[in-house]
Structure 1
């Protein structure tokens, strides 16, 4: 979809193949993909725990992914203001997205849920990191 701006919001903590898959698939579906990375404070408010990797580093990682044209910080869960600023036409969500305000009725934005992403999840990685001596699957 040439010329169509897509938007992929997320925390992108402990960047893994699931994140990469969402960004790859989103970029293939739009002309220009912008990734929104939740601030440390927003991530903690949404998940109840701060991210392991600080915002500036998560933005650097996501911004250097070849599928992402631009990266912006997200400081609030309301995506209407972000839509007003960026003019995205498609919002991409993945399997472990935080409950951001997807209330975009009347904006013309299509919400595209990307299913079937790889089994690795940030929550499983965080759990494995917090349990000393624990070795388990990250599924």
Structure 2
């Protein structure tokens, strides 16, 4: 029997319970979980701000989570290229992306490769953006 490989990505800045819940739930849906941690450069190019926790430290934090089998740098947003490199069977993403044009297109592209996208509920009460805003007020 083949292992079901799962893949998810994130910045994982100011690691919190929402991050842990996503990783825990993802591992429940696959045999082997690969996590892409967004580099500082990619984060800056997308959000115009650098993460508070440096990339190497965020990689180390995610690597230490028992639900995670492998950690890779996420240096670009091209999920098809990531699939070409990693050959995952399921991709896990927050429900806040469900129904968007870009993810609808990606779902269709992944379907031709036998990849399922699984959406998890977004953690409303805790986010790195919220934690960052609190820290900036101190």
> Which category of TM-score, normalised to the shorter sequence, fits these structures?
0.7 to 0.9
Residue 96 of structure 1 deviates from its aligned partner by 6.6
Using the alignment, how far apart are the partners of 1:96 and 1:53 within structure 2? 24
Is 1:109–2:136 an aligned residue pair? no
Q: Is the 8 A contact 1:2 1:31 kept in 2?
A: no
Which residue is 1:6 aligned to? 6
Using the alignment, how far apart are the partners of 1:129 and 1:123 within structure 2? 10
Residue 47 of structure 1 deviates from its aligned partner by 1.7
Using the alignment, how far apart are the partners of 1:96 and 1:27 within structure 2? 20
Residue 117 of structure 1 deviates from its aligned partner by 3.5
- Gaps of at least 5 residues in structure 2 are none
Which residue is 2:64 aligned to? 64
- Gaps of at least 5 residues in structure 1 are 133-139
Secondary structure of the structure 2 residue equivalent to 1:65? coil
Q: Would you say how many aligned residue pairs link Structure 1 and Structure 2? A: 130
CA deviation string 1:89-108 (max 9, x = no partner): 111012577x9x75260322
More displaced 10-residue stretch of structure 1: 32-41 or 116-125: 116-125
Using the alignment, how far apart are the partners of 1:73 and 1:37 within structure 2? 5
Q: Is the 8 A contact 2:96 2:121 kept in 1?
A: no
Residue 48 of structure 1 deviates from its aligned partner by 2.0
Change (3 A) 1:2 1:25: farther
What TM-score, normalized to structure 1?
0.85
Q: Is the 8 A contact 1:18 1:117 kept in 2?
A: yes
